[in-house]
Structure formats: C-alpha cells, structure tokens
Structure 1
C-alpha cells in the first residue's frame, strides 16, 4: 500500500466537512466518499436512501455475504470547523476535524479492500447518521450484518491502538415536566413549579447509576421556564445512560419509566429508551483471537483489547449475534475534541491488519 495515496485520500475526506445535522454538507461529503471509493475499488457504490438520507454500499461478488466492513462519514464538527482546525500533518501527527472519528478509518477500509486478491463476499457499508444514533441506518446495518462471519468496524482504535472488544450499551431519555404557570411575585403558590419538580427528578435519575457495575446514568441538558418572573410551567432534562449488559439496560429502562411526580398536580412524560444494545465481550472473543494470529503472521505487534463506554454501529451488529470486532480504524486520539489526531506511523500497519483479517474470515 502507498502511504502517500492514503494521506491524500484522508485529506480529501477531512477537507469536506460533514456535520450530521447539515443535509447539504452531508450530500457533498457523500459524493466525495462515493467518488473516492469508486476510484479505489473500481466500482460505484449503491446509494441506499432511507428517510431522505443516503448511505453508501459496495457489495463484491455474487455469493453469500461473509464479511461486513462498516463505517460512517458524518461527524460532530459544525460547518466552518476547518477554519479553526485545518487539515495538516506535523511531526508524524495528522490533524483535522473528523480525522480519527472516522474519516481515516474509511480510507483504511477502502485501501485494505482494494488490495485483496479476492473480494467476493465482502460488503463495505458507509452510513451518514451514526453520530446521531443511526436513526435511519440501524436496520440497514443489521440487515447487512445478518449471517456474516464477521462485522469489522473501522472506528478509531482505543488508547495505544487497542482493538475495541466490548462497548457499553446506550440509552437516551428526555424527561418532560408539566406544571402550571403563575406570577412569581404576586401568587407563586398558585403555580406548579416545573423547575422544582425537575430538581426532584434529576436527583432520582442520578441515583439509578451503579458504579460497581459500570452503569452511568447522567442528567445532561436541562431547560425550564419562559421568563424570570414566572413560575415555570414546563421543563425538560435529557438523560444519557451507559450500561455493560442487557440486564442493566432493562433495569434502568424500567426504573426510568416508573418515575412519578413529587409535586401535587405536576405530570411527567418519559420519552426515549435503549438506543444501542451492549456489545458484550462474547461477541468479539473469536474475532479478537483471529486478529492476534493475523498480526503475528504479518509480523505486526500483537494488538491489545479494550472495553470502552462509547457506542458505535458495532453494538447493533453484535446485538443480532454477528461476531464483531471494533476499533480497527486509525490509531490516534482526541475524538470530538480540539486535539483530534491520527498517528501517521500507524496507518499502513492498520491497513495491513484489516486486509489480513478480512482474508482470514473469507477463508473461514
């Protein structure tokens, strides 16, 4: 593989901004990704439209689907981020918004597949809404993974280049409080204060966490009220939940929907629920063992395994029973942050590992 070509392709993707919530920017990025894939893979992708979003799929060969290679091109970075965080390479470190999460991973996937002696049975799927929780692509991801011997997720590596063998499940909620407005100075007693009710609910929600089991339940964005001199009639809090196993996800979900108002005449709405099932260690055990063997055969350092709190589309592939290995993308760090970066020295070894692992699973 050619490092210069790899870097040029990463620059092309990073230089085309693709915030998840900007349809026009995503459309431009989709065309850049499609053109790059067509050039490297020698075939145009299928454009799969779901609820107005376009996902890209390359299927090779006419036989059964054996290996799904998975990634996304949307990012959390707002349009204009390149002005403050321009693409560049200095002292072996590549920087730019979305470089490690996960545009470098997409390029690694394309180059790894392009170099295969036989691609028959390989599917490359690149989605555009993963950072939103994959609302339009989840069914597509699951259908493409069904029956495969392996789902290889090109999300960024964990610390030190470790492969991600376990991910927490993710649940997301919005708790809405309905109270009653009143003048805060003249007759506050006639109101039902949504802010006070939210305070009670926030404490109850936070108490659902279980640190011993690695379960986090975090109230995040909170809003309430319409003016400074009015008893708030409505309010809302968002809740982020991360769990290590399905039983914990169900426990928290049951408890969230069992919340009840504390103040007389206040009412609650509990919206949301589990978004991604846990990717438990059992989903990756066999694939991780194969990755270790492939690395040895290629003369590469033996990869380490890591359990992480963030979710990915690998949670979905693991959730339907497909053996899944994540974190096969670029080695670097700082995802979603100002110091997002990729270590250039890790690109060629990673591409070789991905290509070797695909070949290994095609032969299984």
Structure 2
C-alpha cells in the first residue's frame, strides 16, 4: 500500500493543470486495473479526466478524487517521505491515501460485483464537470462511501456537511475626476462598503433559529475578495465583493439565495448585479445515520474502536450523493491531518484498519 501511495503522490495533479490531471488519471487507472483486474472507463469533460469502474449492477458507489490543491513543483518543497510512521507529500491525505485504501479494500473481496468506483479530477475546484457523473453513478445505489480523509487524527467520520454557495456582488457606478468634479461620479467603492454590511446583516438574520435546527450550527456568509476603482484620482466606476456561503440545510441555502438576490443599492445612481449562486447542496445528518451506526458495529466486530461522527463545514462530493437521495457516509479515507497545508500527513498505521472497515462496509451494503 505504501508503494502504491508513493506512486500516486509522485505524480502531481494540480486541479488547474489539466495535462497533469490526465497524467495522474493514467497512473490511478493503472493502479486500479492491477488491483481490480479491469481497466476504467476514462471520461474527459471540458479537458478534465475522470475514471469510472462499473461491476455488474451497482448497489454501492465509492467516490474519490485524484486532483489536489498543490501547484506543480510542490514535490520540490514537500517531498514524499515516510518517517516514524508518518507519510508526507502533496495530496497524500487529500486524498491519494484514500484512493489506495479504496482499491485495496476492493481487491480484498472475493468479488467486486455490485460496486461502482468513480474517481474524478476536479473535486478541489467544485466538481463542475463531474457533478453529472456523480449523480448518474449514484442512481439506484443503496449506499455511497466517500474516501475523503477523516475529520481528525482520531479517525472521526463525517456525518454531515454544509452546503456551499458562491456569489459575486458587482457594483456599477460612474467615473469622474476625484479632484475636479467628484460630485459627478457615483462611487462604487462606497456602495461596495454598504453591500459588505448588508451581507453581514443577512448572516446575522440566519442566526439562532437556523443553529437550533442543525448540528452544523448557523449559516455563514463571509465576504472574501474586495475590489474597486481603476486609478487613485478617479471616482470608482466598478466594485466587486465575493461572498462565501455555508448553509446547514437546503432551506437555509434557499433563504440565503433569495436574500442575496434581493440586495439593493444604497448609493443614488449605483446599480447592482448578483452573480453566482448555489454550488453543493448540504449533506444533512439523516443521510448518514444508518450507515454510521453500521460502521460502528462493524468496527467493533473487527476489534477496532468504534469511530466518532462529526458535522463539518467543508463540502465534498458526498454532498451530491446525499442530495440525490442515496445514504452517504464520508471521511472513510486516510487518518492524518494538515490537509491543504504544509503539515499534510497520513498516519501509516491506520491505513490497514481503515481499509478493512471499508471492505466490511461494502460487503454488508451491496
């Protein structure tokens, strides 16, 4: 398993580099072919390479991704290593170790009949080209297992996830000379400031009631990127603010969408455009409850400590499988920490127990 993990980590696969993702797909496909006895279906959509294996009539979908957030050349500063039981390297936790565990879990079974494996190449950037594949592949399945890393170094599974939305509020003003006749302009920078405060008010309005309904707590609306103006001596004619939204329920996500699209300009003469919208739907706790209980029982059967479950704010492809109506359990991949950071690592000793637990889950649900 370590040799396979090294091979995947050494093939860098930054999401934005489609050629690198295609090379990674070849390596992942060859690993799967060796362990599963069959090559994948290679699907390229808008330049992004995805892989799918289908065995019989699927009842279980295994979901993973082979792209990473690490820019090309990251191996020079974050080389592959295994020291004192800790594996390191770009994407080692998120989620190349999860792929290795997934393939080895399937290889340990007498048969792969009833299983579909989908490994996409754009999860880290929102799964725009693979969403339809995910929803198509999960149709008719009784369970979806997502090989994202565990929530912490105790191997905690992810039993709920917030849904994500992305907005950009564009302010159209009117340029004028800032010294000679500023009164003839419509200052987009001032209007952007008003909109940041209005967005904060929406976040406050989603507070206590929303938090009481969901273990994920209240929705969050976070202004992130701000820009306005084109020159120091010109009244800004254009301004923008990007907004990151995390919502615990579909109802909260819908309410936020209505409120965002209802924003109005405060500065006379300014005009607003609200771009973007919903991305991933929430993965609500009900979708994982039965599978989580099963995982706890199976861990006990295997002599392992039953895992804990936790609701998290980040999204994954499990949001899509859950929203499609398929029971979904997430965080079944590697145990470690530091995803997307310099400290990214995998605890090697946990790879085999996690593989055994996944194999048992597949056997009991297909």
Structure 1 partner of 2:74: 81
Task: Quote the Cα distance in structure 2 between the aligned partners of 1:60 and 1:123.
Answer: 6
Structure 2 partner of 1:321: 325
Structure 2 partner of 1:3: none
SS in 1 for 2:361: helix
Structure 2 partner of 1:308: 312
Structure 1 partner of 2:232: 228
Structure 2 partner of 1:268: 272
State the Cα distance separating 1:49 from its structure 2 match: 2.4
Task: Quote the Cα distance in structure 1 between the aligned partners of 2:89 and 2:171.
Answer: 41
Unmatched runs of 5 consecutive residues or more in structure 1: 1-5
State the Cα distance separating 1:98 from its structure 2 match: 0.9
1:17-76: CA deviations, max 9, x gaps?
Answer: 111111121111111111111122121100122223221001113xx2100000001111
Structure 1 partner of 2:112: 119
1:208-233: CA deviations, max 9, x gaps?
Answer: 22343221100111122212222111
Spell out the pairing of 1:185-334 with structure 2 (5 A cutoff).
185-209=179-203, 210-212=206-208, 213=211, 214-334=218-338
TM-score by length of 2: 0.95
Aligned residue pair count: 355
1:275-295: CA deviations, max 9, x gaps?
Answer: 111101100011111111111
State the Cα distance separating 1:166 from its structure 2 match: 0.5
2:164 to 142, 155, 170: 170
Task: Note if 1:108 corresponds to 2:118.
Answer: no
1:246-268: CA deviations, max 9, x gaps?
Answer: 11111111100000111111111
Task: Note if 1:21 corresponds to 2:31.
Answer: no
Task: Quote the Cα distance in structure 2 between the aligned partners of 1:77 and 1:235.
Answer: 30
TM-score by length of 1: 0.95
SS in 2 for 1:342: strand
Task: Quote the Cα distance in structure 2 between the aligned partners of 1:229 and 1:77.
Answer: 39
SS in 1 for 2:362: helix
State the Cα distance separating 1:92 from its structure 2 match: 1.4
1:183 to 171, 177, 181: 177
Task: Quote the Cα distance in structure 2 between the aligned partners of 1:189 and 1:171.
Answer: 37
1:128 to 109, 121, 126: 121
Task: Quote the Cα distance in structure 1 between the aligned partners of 2:207 and 2:250.
Answer: 16
Task: Note if 1:42 corresponds to 2:46.
Answer: no
Structure 1 partner of 2:215: none
Task: Quote the Cα distance in structure 2 between the aligned partners of 1:27 and 1:48.
Answer: 10
Spell out the pairing of 1:2-13 with structure 2 (5 A cutoff).
6-13=1-8
SS in 1 for 2:134: helix
Task: Quote the Cα distance in structure 2 between the aligned partners of 1:84 and 1:237.
Answer: 33
Task: Quote the Cα distance in structure 2 between the aligned partners of 1:314 and 1:298.
Answer: 25
1:344 to 334, 337, 348: 348
1:169-196: CA deviations, max 9, x gaps?
Answer: 1111111111111122222221111111
Structure 1 partner of 2:49: 54
1:147 to 115, 140, 145: 140
Runs of 4+ in 1 over 3 A off after TM superposition: none
Unmatched runs of 5 consecutive residues or more in structure 2: 212-217
SS in 2 for 1:259: coil
1:138-179: CA deviations, max 9, x gaps?
Answer: 111011111101000000001221111111111111111111
Task: Quote the Cα distance in structure 2 between the aligned partners of 1:121 and 1:320.
Answer: 19
Task: Quote the Cα distance in structure 2 between the aligned partners of 1:187 and 1:89.
Answer: 65
State the Cα distance separating 1:236 from its structure 2 match: 1.3
SS in 1 for 2:166: strand
1:69-115: CA deviations, max 9, x gaps?
Answer: 00001111111211111111122111111111111111111111111
